[in-house]
Structures are given as structure tokens and as C-alpha cells.
Amino acid sequence: MSHFVPEQSIEERGINVIRGLAMDAPQKANSGHPGTAMALAPLAHVLFTRVMRYDATDPEWFDRDRFILSNGHASILQYSLLYLTGYGLELEDLRQFRQFGSRTPGHPEVHHLPGIEVTTGPLGQGFAQSVGVAIAERRLRHQFGPGLCDHHVFGICGDGDLMEGVSHEAASLAGNLGLGRLVFVYDDNHITIDGATELATHDDAAKRFEAYGWHVVQLGDVANDLEAIEDGLRQGMAEAERPSLIVLRSHIGWPAPHRTDTKEAHGDPLGAEEIRETKKLLGLPPEEDFYVPDDVLGYYRAAGRRGAPEREKWLARLDTLGEEERERFEACRVGKGLKGWEEDLPVFQTGEKAATRKAINAVLVATAEKIPGLVVGAADLTGNTGTKLDLDDAMSPANPGGRQLHYGIREFGMVSAMNGMALHGGVLPVGGTFFVFSDYCRPAIRIGAMSEAHAICFFTHDSIGLGEDGPTHQPIEQLASLRAMPNLLLIRPADANECSAAWQVAVEADTMTALILTRQDVPVLEGTAERARLGLSRGAYILCDEEDGLDIVLVGTGSEVQLCVAARQELARQGISARVVSFPSWGLFEATDEGYQASVLPDDVPVLAVEAAASFGWDRYADDVVSIDHFGASAPGQRNMAEFGFTVENVVARAIQLLDEDAN
């Protein structure tokens, strides 16, 4: 390990400055991961100064190359480059690394500061989201031509990313789709927090990715060789038909004299003395923190503006679009419909019967042509989950513009890819699976909600009413679980008209939406054609008014609203005046004002809720709830509903019981 000498090039000095920042920020925070950032400083330097096309003065330029740091614990590497190249980050932001309210949190968060494309954190998800980013890029290139969309997706992943199962799902999908603009560097440093990777795995990642259909470039032990790194990246860029994995052997913590190739360099600050010794080896001022000389900063700022001419040419091309094509491009870019798209929303007639999974499909198909960014698919359940478009062939290497996407049995990978598509922009992704399998993709739902990714999930077979598949497939606790997730818009429509209204809300939303849908047929209820459009957007609404005074409010969601409607009629025959409230979305209801909430659920009237799911959480709205707080059974769906109390007779009996308790 040689000392820094003045004869070193500006590139070598810049790389050492990055290494200094990678040591100083975690040390000041007493928290962080310096080792990977130190080892990969040359790689990041090559990406940001030689390879990637971007303009730091306009971070939202749509046709920029995308960079995703999947091993997001090494965030100080990305933050250092964003500061140096001029994204608006300041040196003080690096000094506030991992502190409350800072712009430099522990893992990169999209929308938090310019230059962060997706939220990475839990390992593997950045990689999987990158696959979605690459899907969006290729589809838009096919849809609008390379004049408007023609860029690469670069990423860095580590051993932890490739151990997590979601990366396997996503890598297999990417290989099957032949995503040639996706170039990932695998940081093969052989170290995890527990120690050497050999403690837990002896996988040959290169062979595994070759089996997935990837183009693999074995660079070897060249983490400090700028020319070799650039050559490997350009080999990946030149491969048009397959995604590329560039395998780079690095040494975590290099060149720290006592921490190189150690697990301690992974997750702990190096310590003041080790930093001083390392800075001496690099030729950095050993007692100066956050050292960035003016000429190094100037060099990187110039690199950050290299893409400005390309951006200006792109803007000029955008200006030449005709009015109709410009409207389609903008609708795609924001993931919304063309002007007046909602006029195509169907209205269903009272008395018709349809499972809400089938009703949502009718709504989807009716509006698809006016939502040009729509890409719809399922985790091998296309016909079962209402996600079949019947408009064109499936997306494939030969048909990159296909709007039907087969994800295979990869729920976690599906929603992660949907997040990537949504955050890239240009695509409104819709993905479907059975509601119970939302547990398989829950981590991606969480990241999507946190990222405000405009994606839509169809979760079907939503209760014990799905029947014979039994308790392993019958969701009980999933509604309560997902209702607890911030930023997730959860809607359980009661019938086809509520599905139509829910689709409008989902398309026009600015965050992730989950529609919870039935397998079994439910009737189109009287009043939803007139009331659901406005009512559903408020989360809850009065579907059936009380006839004379108000004795009790019956609240239902989804397939149980019909029970409330029928129970109201029976209660009326017994002289009890009931109101029926359809309550498809707690989140939307809670966003309304207190006056509206009180008009729907008066404080002085007993409330009985009916929902074929766990009772958890209903105490905030109801005095009692007909629910199921145990697992279901394998039987025809209607038998299950009857056995577990979801009948008109039981709802009536529980309503009378609640009224008696209230009177006493």
C-alpha cells in the first residue's frame, strides 16, 4: 500500500477523497458501514465520471441513466458522489450522516434527496426494484422510440443481496425477459457481518446468473483498476439481449492497515486511530475530517454536468411531439389516465352478480386503452385475479411493448419489480395474487408504501369464503396487518360498482393501493350505482338510510355488506331502524373531516361491524364485530360463512344483543 504522492492523477486523488469521506461520516455518526464504500470508491468514480449519462443540475431528467445501490448500507458512497458531482447535497449533509432530520439517512430513500432512484434498505430489494426499472425503460423505448427513452440501469449489489431470496426471483425474471439495459456489479468481497461468506454459502454466483440467462463478466481482483472496471461496465452495456452481471472481487475496508478484509470493516466505524493511519497511506491530511480540496471538487462538479448537452437535445425532441403524443407521454410519465379516461368506467345494474375479482377485470379492460402506461400481470394467477387484459400478447424479449406481464410464482419479486417500474416513471403497474400470499410480498408492499410508489395490487380470494383450499389459503389476519401499514391505501369493495369507484381512486392516487377482492360472486347492491363513486372516495358512506329514527348502524366491508343490507330489512320487520354503512377503506375515511365521520357513524348510536376477518382494530369504530379470530376450514365457501357466523340470522341476533347491552 503506497503513500499518496503529488504525482497522482486527479482521478486517484478524487477516489481517495471519497474513501476519506467514507471513513469520516460513520466515525462522526458512531454508526455506519465504511468498508464497502472504501473498497468501491474506484467503481463509483468510474460510473459517475466516465460511464453514466446524467445531469446533476437536473436530477429528474427523464432519460438519465439510473443508478441503484442495492447494498444500501454503503449509502455514504452514494452520498459522497451526490455531493461531489453537484446534486445539491452539501458537505454539512455528510457531517449529519444518520442524524435525525438529516438528508443523509442510514439507507438511501427516494424523494428524500435528488439522485436517489429507489428506496433500498432490506437487502435484495434494490436489486429486484432495478429489474422493474429496466422493464419500464425498455417498454417506454418500444412505446415512444429511443428519442424519448434510451438509457441504462446500473446497480451495485453485494453478497447479502444475492443471498436474499427476492434477488433470485428478480434475477430469474430479468433473464427470462432479456433486459439488456440492466448492468449490475456484484461486489464479491467475501465478507458479511458475521464473518466470511463461507460461514453460510459456497454458491457460485456467476454460474447461477448464467443459468438465469444473464451475461456474466468475471473481472477478478481489479477493484482499484479504473480501466478494467470501465471495460467491464462497457461490456455489460454492449450486451443488448441479456442483463449483465459484472463480478468484481474487492477487499472491504481497503487500505485500512488492520481492518481490510475483516468483518469489523463491514458494520462499524473504523476508529480514530485506524482512520489516521489509513489517511496517511492515502496521502490525506490525517487530522482533517471531511477533506475535499477545491480542484477535486471542481473535477467532480464538471463530471456532473457532462450530460447537459444530451439533456438539452432530449428536451428539444420532446418539444417536437404532437399534442396527442405529448399527452400520452405525460400520462405514462405520471402513471395516470388520459383526459376524460374516467368516462369509460362502467356502471353495473342492481341485481347482477359477480365476484369482485371479475368485476375489477371488467373495469380494468374497459379503461385500459385510455391508461397508456398500464402494465398488468400476476404471480401465475392471471385468470384468477382479474389481471388479464386480452389486449395484446404478453411482454417478452420479442414483444417488449406487451402490457400483459407474466411474473411467474414470484410474489415478492413481482411487487418489488412493480415498485421499480412505478419509481422509474412511465408505467402504472398492476399485479395480482391471492390475498393470503400478500405475506410473501409484504416487505415489498412496505417499501412501496414508504416510497409512495404508484402501483396497484389486486389481492383476491379475500376470506374464508374462498372455500375448499382451506385455512392455509384463507386470509384472516391480513386485513388488520396491512391496515397498520402507513401510506398504503387499502380498499375492500362491496360490489362491482364499488370496484369501479375503487379503480378510479387507485389510478388517481399518488401512493401504493391494494384492492381486496372476492373469489365468490356477490350481488350488485341497490344504491351503489348512485352513491359509491363519491362515497368510496371518502372511505365509508351511508348505503342504506334508516327509515324512522336510528337505533343501530350496521357496518360492513366487501362481501359482508350484503349481509348488513339483508339484516337491516329483517330488523325493520322487528321494529328496529338500522342504517347500513359500506366501509371499504379505513385510510380514506380517516382522511375526511370529523364532521363527515360523525355524520356516517354518530357517536350516540351503537355500531355493529361485520367482516370475515380478524376483529383486531375494529374497536376504534364499532361497539361489537362479527368476525373470525381463528383459522378457517376446508369446505365450500358458503358452508364456511354459515359455520362461522356470517349469515343474516347471526347478524340480526348480534345486532339485537348489542342493542340490549346498550340499553342496560
Across the beta sheet with 182-188, the strand order is 66-69, 153-158, 182-188, 244-249, 215-220
Neighbours of 325 (CB within 10 A): 12
CA distance 561 to 383: 25
DSSP track, 93-155: HHHTTT-TT-S--SS--TTTSTT--S---STTHHHHHHHHHHHHHHHHHHHH-TTT----EEE
CA distance 99 to 92: 12
**645 exposure class (CB count in 10 Å sphere: 0-12, 13-18, 19+):** middle
**Of the listed 117, 164, 411, 498, which one is catalytic?**
411
Burial 375-409 (b: 16+ CB within 10 A, else e): bbbbbbbbebbbbbbeeeeebeeeebebbbbbbee
Respond yes or no: is residue 411 known to be catalytic. yes
Residue 420 contacts residue 128 (beta carbons within 8 Å): yes
- Dump strand ranges (E) for 404-525: 404-406, 428-434, 456-460, 489-491, 513-516, 521-523
For residue 195, list its beta bridge partners.
Answer: none
Amino acid identity, position 306: R
For residue 491, list its beta bridge partners.
Answer: 515
Long-range contacts of 621-627 (CB under 8 A, 24+ apart): 621/555, 621/583, 622/555, 623/658, 623/662, 624/654, 624/657, 624/658, 626/560, 626/650, 626/651, 626/654
Cα 150 to chain centroid, rounded:
23
What is the SS3 string spanning 183-249? Answer: EEEEEECCECCCCEHHHCCCCCHHHHHHHHCCEEEEEECCCCCHHHHHHHHHHHHHCCCCCEEEEEE
For residue 428, list its beta bridge partners.
Answer: 374
What are the CA-CA distances from residue 49 to residues 99, 115, 308 (Å)?
29, 15, 14
Neighbours of 322 (CB within 10 A): 8
CA distance 75 to 29: 13
What are the CA-CA distances from residue 254 to residues 9, 13, 75, 223, 261 (Å)?
19, 15, 17, 10, 7
Dihedral angle computed from the Cα positions of residues 294, 299, 300 and 305, in that order, rounded to the nearest 10 degrees = 120
- Per DSSP, 396 falls in state B
Half-sphere exposure in the Cβ direction for 478 (13 Å, CA): 31
Q: Active-site residues: which are they? A: 411
